[in-house]
Structure 1
Amino acid sequence: MRREVASVPKAQAVAAGSAADRLGVARLARMSASGADLHPLWRTLIAKLIGGTIAPGEGLDLSLIAQLLGDKNTGLAIQHEILASHQLFRSPCASKMRGLRVLALAAATDMGGNTPIEFLLEGSGFELTTLYVMPDFDLPAPLPDHDVAIVIASDSEDCRDALQKIDQVAARWPRPLLNAPHLVRHLDRDKLYRLLDGMTGLEIPETAAVSRTQLSDISRSALALCDVAADLAFPVIVRPRGSHAGAGLAKLDDRAALARYLADRQEQDFFISRFVDYSGADGLFRKYRIVFVDGRPYPCHMAIADRWDIWYLNAAMSQSASKRLEEETFMRSFDIGFACRHATALSGIAARVGLDYFIVDCAETKNGSLLVFEADNTAIVHDMDPPDIFPYKPPQMRSIFGAFAAMIQRRSRENQECAA
């Protein structure tokens, strides 16, 4: 689904200090998840874009709709045009009554590259504005009014310039700044191993960044796996660098499989790590998402499948009452069960990562250690699962959202007390 993108007329640019209203990620994602047809809205907005009457917020929504419809390239092209003339946007979670003002600092990347913070703040009564930090634009002076700021850009290649720009002024930021950029920059897969390696009760395979040439050399026996990473041996896990939601992820058992994998891929940069069999006694794999808010872990979901490459959408949780019962039990007993078993590892992760908000995707190994796949500040945490099928989820999501809002309030209050 490739669409032609017209240029956004510069006359539509909004003044630098004015936030443009948009539907936003949460609202559009809910529409998509509920089965709503986004094509009519697409057609309406694309007509405005072509006609030169589209508002900046509508243009950013159009970019998201394209991505939700599976056309990432068109979505990013539209986003590029919009952000060239406007960088500040207001989300609809703002209350009619003035609440705390949260400024989210984003990067110009795909919809999976920034924290979907709207889900976390819906219903909080906070005013949320998002500032896209652009390589070719200085940060606005003065900054938009806010009580607390939070970095929502990820540690991906296309966010590095934004993180660096924020980091250059972070020490002088006039309000509390959450998820400091220098800490976010420790989360990419090859860096996370170095950050968490050696912790008691935790296993994390060494992940190495490799080029296509290196993988090709390995497939031809011109380069040994152990020359890339000390513990690397077949079977290995390979994925394109910067990929999300399992795109391009593969378990490769030998050099021939690696050669076939490269023949089907066009990317030039990859991550590689050893495969860890984390299946349980029943042969099923269980993958957990844990949310850390201000150092405390909360259960977000548990996916169960007969395949190692699980993410929640391919685990068919909605089709299995027994799986949902196990997930519900995991959530309800988390503090006295999972969190108790892995207390040392979880507290160590919180301390070493150091971010105010992040998630960890993990599992349990056959010897009982916590197996960490990734840590991320941008993975989606949402309440879109149908409550008639997952009645235990809404209270858990409200608990996470409430903890996040309470953290924002606490940081703002601490700042006010210091100023007084």
Structure 2
Amino acid sequence: MARCPAILIAAPASGQGKTTVACALARLHARQGRQVRVFKCGPDFLDPHWLGLASGAPVHQLDLWMTGEADCAQRLHDAALTADLIIVEGVMGLFDGQPSAADLAQRFGLKVLAVINASAMAGTFGALAWGLQHYREGLPFAGVLANRVASPGHALMLQDGLRDPAQWRGALMRNEALSLPERHLGLVMDQELGDALERLDAAADALMDTPLGQMDVDALQAWAVDFEAGPVPAGFPFKALQDQTIAVARDAAFCFIYAANVDCLQAMGAKLVYFSPLADESLPKCDALWLPGGYPELHAQALGGNTALKASLAAHAQAGKPVWAECGGMMALFEEIIDTEGASHAMWGVLPGRVTMQKRLAALGPQQLALAGGTLRGHTFHYSTCATDLPAAARTQAAPGRTLRGEGEALYALGAIQASYFHAWFASSPDAAASLFLKKKCHD
């Protein structure tokens, strides 16, 4: 058992400012010398970069289905052993999704802080706060923070609208300097901005003027939770990737990497070496290759123009060495990417076919992929479609309780290459994850 203050930061919908508030709270306490651990509820690659910068510690995902209840329990317990504060950022609206952020809060006894964009409301703020608190019986509640408030007078109107004045946690004024920039897949990466830390410091400074920001160590104990360790996983394949070196693409074009996936591969004995498809002319010496998701469409000209790396990739594939490419990694393997303006950009041509960017989301949701070694859980989220003559070697299935619109995501296999829009959570089936990087278990 480990005891630690913990808070889940939620909202009535996306776009309310959850990430900004979670980052501000983490940055505020980290600056004061406290050990802060932050988690992200649900599948997300982008928010954790900002949350990690704010807290100074790796950010992992918590999802009662994708990562599993036992995994969530163990990660929270381990964090509580050393942390002074645990922050969990919710996903979408508080009750959205199956499972939802509210489900996670109730399972682990996390109090919920609701962040509401109050820029276009007054008395309704109180009704919305009341509804979030009481919609589900037994939901632990820590209060409500008003975001994007017009003035101190507006803040007083919002506070007066609360039925329970004790639930008021303050107001953040409307300030573009506090907002985190976005693009089609979510937040812009913190590494792309020269002032990322300054933005977080500004948000933390603003939060200091609120009751939430003025909570000291003693006040935080009102959020304290006892976390029990999860059950020990049975039969983890600790040596499944022993003596295997896996090259991992990691740069501005390939940045969608779960920290827990890295941990999982290393726990199975793999040695990971990183390289940049944007800057490097060849793959590092390796037994297998992982091309994670990211933004190849934003760097298509540079990626396609790196002919030396393209040749190195082709040689790796021709040697029969495994390749696992997910979403953006798969996109770059095709012959071309067509952007939203209709322009064609030559890519690596390791797989036959083309990818076409769409102006609207093409697929979203939790899914699972059955492989010879087991079933991997994960999700899909992309703004492109692909056309190829390759048959689907397998297809993902919907998460339990969900339905798919049309067919699941295809798994394409060519030689030792396996590629899909599907983003996998490796710890959901380590044996299946290992099979992606071993010659003997690749598709013929």
- How high is the TM-score relative to the length of structure 1? 0.30
More strand by share: 2
More helix by share: 1
- How high is the TM-score relative to the length of structure 2? 0.29
